[in-house]
Structure 1
């Protein structure tokens, strides 16, 4: 592959990832008009249109989707190889791409930015906070945080904390008006606030443990959110019942704004893990990030 070929394909991958010539041009450090010329040259060389363009949107054609599916993982691997070669020295430096769900980012990373950058000033963290189920390797991330139940078998996993638990909560006003559920089956008669995981078409089913097994309940109610913090805000205002991480709702319970419900049915499950692909030569920046978060957790 000639250097120009790779530059064209890298430009294509950036436009495909961003769905925008303007944002892709910003990432590549060129003008949008120059990027458009590069893509037109690539399409002319391949003899096929890769994007459908309108004044408002940019979308991949079928040919573009197939090229993106094959080339993006290859490009991520090449970029990772270059970063690995450049960062195998003792001093951690360079770019580290991180993927975290919002709850994990708030718990582990948000309070520690200052300490990490004081310890590793040469490392640039590129953090994506996203609750969608994401293949971190295919998407080009170096490291991610996952619940234990979602770990992939071929990943290195480092435990970041203890077990987690989700509980049902409601405002005192809601309980006065609507009563208290006694079993998970009672939720079918209550106004529940649903959560849809980003990237998923279905609604999350609330999970409980009883009689030696896990089971789920499909609830219904007046509100569906993609961010669980919105569900908690709505629950405080008496909209309905919400279901979220116990650690995050305990301060609101202590303040009298929420009440815990169905606690006997809410069992703990494996907590958060830092995970990354097995590597022959671990990036110095990744090693520093892993060691830092392990030290942060052990110091709490």
Structure 2
């Protein structure tokens, strides 16, 4: 089998797995038009149609189903054989794709990139920074960073860094005009700065712990943002009450620009986790990345004492 023929078959399997030309092209790191041409060449060479295409979906023909059933196990066996040989290398090498939200990337990944490059010069670390909650397997990532409350059951999760704590804050000017809420239920009487998850339409509901359980509070106000830094800046200017991680607002509290509130309703909760799919065989490069960032971000707070939002 020539190299081009193997590439055509691998492209076909990827489309079947992804169910979509655009996703398959992204996974293979080629353009959709190149992928379409590759499949046309494969179908021309075999003399049968393998895929039914519409503008919205892709499905396998009977011939495609038969080819996938026979070739996919063989492809997986070949890839496993290659990984097995690569794992014998003394120095881990290859590309590792990592997905991290902005906050996690800034605090847990970025400070250690220089040392990582020195210790693992043959690993290409491909980092995507995105606050959207993305399925790392579907999108072709090897590793992801995610909050404990968003972990998936079928993924391995390793805790990185300390537990987190949310903090409601407002400027002294806002407080002088509107006062301080003494209970989360009083927030509906205040001007609050809403925050939206990247990639989601819905607004994040503020979470507090009261009477032994977590409660979700819907707030309203004059501003909605998808950038935490903007919410914090707006709070310092008296726009309203912001709700964000304590570590980000603590310096502004220390200088008197912001005043904390409702602290008794805001305990620590499990923070960031490094997560990856359960797999029988892991490349040496992926294992090296996991071990490196785990060692640099060992938690100092007792995770078992943290309260996880429901």
TM range, smaller chain: 0.7 to 0.9
Higher Rg: 2
Matched, 1:63 2:58: yes
TM-score (norm 2): 0.76
- Which 5+ residue runs of structure 2 have no aligned equivalent? 301-310
> Residues of 1 paired with 2:284 and 2:269: CA distance?
32
SS of structure 2 residue aligned to 1:105: helix
> Residues of 2 paired with 1:99 and 1:208: CA distance?
28
SS of structure 2 residue aligned to 1:168: strand
- Which 5+ residue runs of structure 1 have no aligned equivalent? 52-60
Q: Check 1:299–1:170 CA distance in 2 against 1; reply closer, same or farther (3 A cut).
A: closer
Matched, 1:150 2:150: yes
> Residues of 2 paired with 1:83 and 1:247: CA distance?
44
CA deviation after TM superposition for structure 1 residue 151, in Å: 2.1
Deviation per residue, 1:103-129 (Å, 9 max, x gap): 111110111111111111111111122
Q: 1:6 aligns with which of 7, 10, 14?
A: 10
**Contact 2:11 / 2:35 at 8 angstroms: preserved in 1?**
no
**Residues 1-300 of structure 1: pairs in structure 2 closer than 5 A:** 3=6, 4-7=8-11, 16-17=22-23, 27-28=29-30, 37-38=37-38, 45=49, 48-51=52-55, 61-63=56-58, 81=80, 84-85=83-84, 87-89=86-88, 90-298=90-298
Aligned length, in residue pairs: 278
CA deviation after TM superposition for structure 1 residue 33, in Å: 6.8
CA deviation after TM superposition for structure 1 residue 84, in Å: 3.5
Moved more, 206-215 or 145-154: 145-154
CA deviation after TM superposition for structure 1 residue 15, in Å: 5.5
Q: Check 1:186–1:6 CA distance in 2 against 1; reply closer, same or farther (3 A cut).
A: same
Q: Check 1:46–1:295 CA distance in 2 against 1; reply closer, same or farther (3 A cut).
A: closer
**Contact 1:102 / 1:131 at 8 angstroms: preserved in 2?**
yes
TM-score (norm 1): 0.78
> Residues of 2 paired with 1:36 and 1:254: CA distance?
58
Deviation per residue, 1:135-156 (Å, 9 max, x gap): 2223221111122222223322
**Contact 2:205 / 2:218 at 8 angstroms: preserved in 1?**
yes
**Contact 2:100 / 2:131 at 8 angstroms: preserved in 1?**
yes
Cα RMSD for the two superposed structures: 3.5
Q: Check 1:83–1:222 CA distance in 2 against 1; reply closer, same or farther (3 A cut).
A: farther
CA deviation after TM superposition for structure 1 residue 243, in Å: 0.8
